[in-house]
Amino acid sequence: MIDLGEDPLKLDRQVCFALSVASRSVIAIYRPLLEPYGLTHPQYLVMLALWEQSPRSVKELGAALRHEPATLSPLLKRLEALGYLTRSRSRSDERRLTVELTGTGRALRAEAEKIPYKVVETLGMEVAELEALHGVLSRVIAATA
């Protein structure tokens, strides 16, 4: 059995607590950086996925983001209202909804490229530390998938 120390239920020793607080803290850094573009953090994640590959089906987008289509729908509607993407039904399969960046959505990428650098600067951590953290978090995600 793994020894968790004197009190296995002590709040500040819980991985879930550390992840929760760290997640909220990092997302808070993004808020003022995304605000000029009218984006929330979840919408920014959608845009990141679409900058990697567009067009994409809602199903493909959901898989990439690990979201259910019902969770994506309001995000996509808002991004469409902002003029960053379009949604359309496939001609070959009416059940398939395709999402594609508009010219405005593609152009936003150039501005968004500045965001990761500002986040790293705000965190005050070395890139190597953040890469190591990303590696550990990726292992946690893989273990729970």
Average pLDDT in the chain: 93
Rounded distance, CA 78 to CA 68, Å? Answer: 17
Whether the pLDDT of residue 14 is over 80: the answer is yes
> pLDDT band for position 94 (50/70/90)?
confident
Rounded distance, CA 140 to CA 136, Å? Answer: 6
Report H helices in 2-102: 15-34, 41-52, 58-65, 69-81
* Domain ranges across the chain: 40-107
Whether the pLDDT of residue 105 is over 80: the answer is yes
The mean pLDDT of 11-23, rounded to a whole number, is 93
> pLDDT band for position 81 (50/70/90)?
very high
Rounded distance, CA 114 to CA 92, Å? Answer: 39
Q: What percent of the chain has pLDDT over 90?
A: 82
Q: Which fold has domain 40-107?
A: Arc Repressor Mutant, subunit A (1.10.10)
Angle at 77 between CA 74 and CA 80, to 5 degrees: 150
Q: What is the pTM of this model?
A: 0.90
Whether the pLDDT of residue 1 is over 60: the answer is no
The mean pLDDT of 62-79, rounded to a whole number, is 93
53-62 pLDDT per residue, tens:
999 999 999 9
Rounded distance, CA 61 to CA 49, Å? Answer: 7
Whether the pLDDT of residue 84 is over 70: the answer is yes
Asked if residues 49 and 40 have their Cβ atoms less than 8 Å apart, the reply is no
